[in-house]
């Protein structure tokens, strides 16, 4: 009797500071046996001395079992605390602590038929079929069965239930809908029963891959490269990523593994940048013809768009640098020297337009209006071509969900104070309007202004050149087309700004110097 009283004193003293504890935590802090702690907590809860959480907590645990490897399990537990005087129930850290009542008893102990038995009976009664674990949980959800209960049960009855998932060299992982489960007939020879179980799971897996997504992607990549080779063509990463509907990282890893596993898959780099792939069965003559066609395509599409698009970024940057007093541009070191250090990579806390973790903006600069004023941060986004509402909305979402410039507010995700977006487009769609919730129709410029985004047009910069005295033939659009790169754009703008009367000559000389660079592009423009 004395030892029981001492145990009670020790157990209750562990809860004297009113900090909720689990039975496991109490056993660890007091040194009492776990079973005696559980019995004691239930005893004092039933007699009204303790309160217990209304609902259990669940946690995943891993235990190392030596040669048997890691054993994974889901553990449920309750928290206990001393009952405050005069209080029937309390809320602590968002959890309700309740007194003893039959309705609060753990249903797992009060249920006539256990969850495990329900799951086993279901599989046995439907032994002619196979099910995903999520399907079984849905069928038995009225009995309080969850997916974790299904898998916990079948792991204990492995000799009765056949479990199938994605197979790799070392592990087996679940399909999207969970593991596939089916009953193993105990009355038939074991080999025959397992063969029939496999056949039933095969029926579910028709038109699916039974290996891991990564291995399946490797096989698909190789098939696509061989298919392209049969068509006397090369295939690139972008095409394969689009067809397989995977991320850039996933297709990159798959292609790397394909090149390691299959020596007959070859890679060729065009202009030492663009990666294309083919099968070694392609003859040298066919390969050179395919390379020639792809190079022409890159010159037309990639070369022109990339060069002029990057040149356009330098135009608003130069004008901002020229006319904004005290502007301090951000810089960032990138993995390659080809990327302008003034281009800034932002970290996203939510995917935006297919960009999962990062998004780039063209420029970021700060201006401090006065000695005691807070600095204002401007973020620039540039687009060469016709700008539409969806382009402005995409830029808006990037800023809202960026870790650097977005903030949570009662009205939802917004910019931080002192942050202004600037969108520079060579032309904005004059016909596009925006219909608001109250049915009001406003222009794209008005819409952007309401969203705290400033719009800059090529015509705005051309007007500055006219005011300076440059010839009307001189436009920022022509400068972008004639300049070799961003550095030359800045040099041209600086030269014609200092000597506007000779602006026509300056641009003509640039055109002659870079004739080989843009002549092919100019020819295409004339055809259009």
- Count Cβ atoms below 10 Å from residue 101 Cβ, excluding itself: 9
The three state secondary structure string of 104-154 is: HCCHHHHCCCCHHHHHHHHHHHCCCCEEEHHHHHHHCHHHCCCHHHHHHHH
From the candidate CATH numbers 1.10.3720.10, 3.40.50.720, 3.20.20.70, 1.10.10.10, the one assigned to the domain spanning 2-105: 1.10.10.10
More confident residue, 527 or 258: 258
- In CATH, what number does 213-282 get? 1.10.10.10
Q: Which pLDDT value is given to residue 464?
A: 92
Does pLDDT of 297 surpass 80?
no
Q: Report whether pLDDT(153) > 70.
A: yes
**pLDDT computed for residue 378 by the predictor:** 92
pLDDT, greater one: 522 or 378 = 378
pLDDT at 206 over 80: no
The region of weakest confidence among 200-214, 301-315, 329-343, 418-432 is 200-214
Asked if the domains at 2-105 and 304-527 fall in one CATH topology, the answer is no
Buried b / exposed e along 169-178 (16+ C-beta atoms within 10 A): eeeeebbeeb
Assigned CATH for 115-204: 1.10.10
Q: Which of 170-179, 198-207, 503-512 has the highest mean pLDDT?
A: 503-512
% of residues, the chain, pLDDT over 90: 19
Q: What is the pLDDT of residue 526?
A: 38
Percent of the chain surpassing pLDDT 70:
88
The whole-number average pLDDT for the span 278-282 is 93
Q: 456: which residues sit within 8 A by CB, 6+ positions away?
A: 316, 422, 423, 424, 425
> What pLDDT, on the 0 to 100 scale, is given for residue 65?
61
* pLDDT (mean) for 180-191: 89
Q: Which of 105-114, 188-197, 264-273 has the highest mean pLDDT?
A: 188-197
Segment among 47-51, 130-134, 472-476, 518-522 with least mean pLDDT? 518-522
pLDDT at 318 exceeding the cut of 90: yes
Mean predicted lDDT score pLDDT of the chain: 83
Rounded to an integer, the average pLDDT of 197-220 is 76
485-488 own/partner pairs: CB under 8 Å, 24+ apart: 485/307, 485/310, 485/311, 486/310, 486/311, 486/313, 486/314, 486/340, 487/314, 488/514
* DSSP code of residue 339: S
User: What was the pLDDT predicted at 111?
Assistant: 47
Q: Is the pLDDT of residue 265 over 90?
A: yes
Q: Report the pLDDT value the prediction gives residue 380, as an integer from 0 to 100.
A: 92
**Weakest-pLDDT range from 64-73, 130-139, 457-466, 492-501:** 64-73
pLDDT, tens only, 322-337: 888 888 889 988 776 6
pTM equals 0.45
Query: In this model, does residue 164 exceed pLDDT 50?
Result: yes
Domain ranges of the chain: 2-105, 115-204, 213-282, 304-527
pLDDT of residue 466: 92
User: Is pLDDT larger for residue 342 or for residue 296?
Assistant: 342
Residue 452 binned pLDDT confidence (cut-offs 50, 70, 90): confident
Tell me if the domain spanning 304-527 has CATH number 1.10.3720.10. Answer: no
pLDDT over 80 (residue 357): yes
pLDDT at 527 (0 to 100): 35
pLDDT at 283: 92
> d(Cα 263, Cα 86) in Å, to the nearest integer?
78
Helix/strand/coil for 275:
strand
At 479, is the secondary structure helix, strand, or coil?
A: helix
pLDDT value, residue 302: 59
Angle between helices 458-468 and 304-323 (to 10 degrees): 60
The predicted pLDDT at position 525 comes to: 43
N-to-C CA span, the chain: 100
- Beta pairing partners, 59: 75
């Amino acid at each position: 009797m004395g030892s029981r009283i001492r145990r009670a004193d020790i157990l209750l003293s562990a809860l004297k500071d009113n900090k909720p504890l689990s039975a496991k935590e109490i056993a660890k802090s007091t040194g009492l046996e776990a079973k005696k702690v559980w019995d004691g907590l239930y005893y004092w809860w039933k007699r009204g001395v303790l309160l217990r959480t209304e609902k259990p907590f669940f946690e995943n645990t891993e235990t190392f079992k030596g040669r048997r490897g890691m054993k994974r399990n889901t553990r449920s537990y309750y928290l206990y605390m001393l009952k405050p005087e005069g209080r029937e129930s309390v809320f602590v850290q968002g959890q309700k602590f309740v007194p003893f009542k039959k309705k609060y008893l753990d249903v797992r102990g009060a249920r006539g038929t256990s969850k495990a038995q329900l799951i086993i009976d279901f599989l046995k009664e439907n032994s002619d079929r196979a099910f995903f674990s999520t399907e079984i949980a849905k069928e038995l959800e009225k009995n309080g069965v969850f997916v974790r209960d299904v898998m916990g049960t079948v792991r204990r009855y492995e000799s009765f239930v056949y479990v199938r998932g994605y197979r790799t060299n070392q592990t087996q992982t679940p399909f999207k809908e969970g593991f596939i489960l089916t009953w193993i007939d105990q009355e038939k020879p074991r080999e025959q029963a397992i063969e029939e179980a496999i056949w039933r799971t095969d029926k579910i897996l028709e038109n699916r891959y039974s290996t891991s997504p990564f291995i399946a992607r490797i096989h698909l990549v190789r098939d696509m490269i061989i298919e392209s080779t049969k068509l006397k063509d090369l295939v690139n990463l972008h095409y394969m990523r689009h067809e397989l509907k995977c991320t850039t990282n996933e297709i990159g890893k798959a292609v790397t593994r394909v090149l390691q596993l299959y020596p007959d898959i070859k890679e060729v780099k065009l202009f030492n940048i663009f990666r294309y792939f083919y099968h070694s069965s392609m003859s040298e003559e066919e390969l050179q013809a395919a390379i020639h066609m792809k190079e022409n395509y890159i010159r037309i599409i990639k070369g022109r768009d990339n060069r002029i698009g990057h040149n356009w970024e330098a135009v608003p940057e130069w004008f901002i640098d020229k006319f904004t007093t005290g502007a301090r541009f951000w810089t960032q070191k990138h993995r390659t020297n080809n990327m302008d250090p003034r281009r800034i990579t932002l970290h996203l806390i939510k995917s935006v337009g297919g960009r999962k973790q990062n998004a780039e903006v063209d420029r970021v600069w700060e201006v401090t209006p006065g000695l005691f004023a807070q600095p204002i941060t401007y973020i620039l986004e540039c687009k060469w071509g016709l700008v539409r509402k969806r382009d402005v909305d995409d830029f808006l979402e990037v800023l809202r969900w960026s870790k650097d410039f977005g903030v949570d507010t009662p009205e939802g995700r917004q910019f931080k104070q002192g942050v202004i977006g600037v969108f520079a487009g060579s032309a904005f769609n004059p016909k596009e309007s925006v219909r608001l919730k109250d049915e009001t129709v406003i222009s794209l410029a008005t819409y952007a202004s309401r969203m705290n985004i400033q719009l800059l047009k090529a015509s705005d910069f051309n007007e500055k050149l006219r005011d300076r005295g440059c010839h009307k033939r001189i436009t920022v659009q022509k400068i972008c087309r004639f300049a070799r790169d961003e550095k030359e754009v800045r040099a041209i703008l600086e030269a014609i700004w200092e000597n506007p009367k000779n602006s026509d000559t300056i641009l003509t000389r640039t055109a002659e110097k870079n004739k080989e660079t843009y002549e092919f592009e100019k020819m295409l423009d004339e055809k259009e």
